[in-house]
Amino acid sequence: MKSVSYVKSAPRTLSVLDYGLFKVHSNGRIIGICGFLIRTTADETILIDTGFPRKYAYDITTSSAEDRLGEFGEVLELGERNLPDAQLALSGVAAADIDLLIMTHTHIDHVGGIADFPGTPILMSRAERALDRPLYWGAVRPIDWPDREYRLIDEDTEIGPGLRVLHVPGHAPGQLAIEVDLPETGTVLITGDAISRPSEIDEGFAGSWDAEQAAANAGRLMRRAEARDAFVIYGHAPEQWPTLRKAPEVYS
């Protein structure tokens, strides 16, 4: 595993951020849209993912029509309180306080606020940053890459003590997962959309950028989780979502 020093100190807490609810038309599944806030022992702050674009909090109907999102599903719940700045505020953190933004990938429900953190470095996959624009949704790609310092990875990378970013393409060409070692909880594996829900492992990864690669990397993640006795937080698991501690609560 490669090692770089993007974060100086060990994780102290992990908070789950509630970016709203979405219903998938094809199966009726209602999923939570999540982000994560990591705070370290030196009070560094790391934000993982940014939810839907800000416009959805003010006019879901028009925004969905613009993005043709109705072809896939329906935003059920997304107000101002579900935007990153409001979710961060629950933990006493302002957008300007974020030291590092990690993008697990750039689909619409993750990339919406990528430009909302001026001056904050963005860590993401080299393969995905090489695209002309973020993936967003289907053929709809309305946003540009913000002018930021990008920290690009193409392999599993330890970015600080007890904090590892795993390169797991499949769902998306630049899909990442995150391993966090916490003092009391132990290791937490944030799979992101590499494994959206446990049943996806048996059902297959239809609709992925590369289903075969997605399956292989999902297996690798679950083997890591078992070896480390990790608590696994899936990308969009309906059964797990209500049980997760959400900001301002923390895993420590």
Average pLDDT over residues 197-215: 94
**Rounded to 5 degrees, what are φ and ψ at 202?**
-85, -35
Q: What is the pTM of this model?
A: 0.97
Q: Are 137 and 109 in contact, with CB atoms under 8 Å apart? A: no
Residue 26: pLDDT band (50, 70, 90) is confident
- Determine the pLDDT at residue 115: 97
Q: Report in angstroms the alpha-carbon separations of 252 from 75, 99, 181, 226.
A: 31, 20, 9, 20
**Tokens (6 digits) for 140:** 């709809």
Q: What is the pLDDT of residues 104-161, one digit of tens each?
A: 999 999 999 999 999 999 999 999 999 999 999 999 999 999 999 999 999 999 999 9
Q: What is the dihedral of CA 49, 228, 219, 216, to 10 degrees?
A: 70
Helix (H) or strand (E) holding 143: none
Considering the four listed CATH numbers 3.60.15.10, 3.30.499.10, 3.40.50.1100, 3.40.50.150, the one that applies to the domain covering 2-243 is 3.60.15.10
Among 234, 189, 233, residue whose Cα is nearest residue 11: 189
User: Which 3 state secondary structure label does DSSP give 28?
Assistant: coil
**Residues 163, 177: Cα–Cα separation, whole Å:** 11
**Hey, what amino acid is at 41?**
T
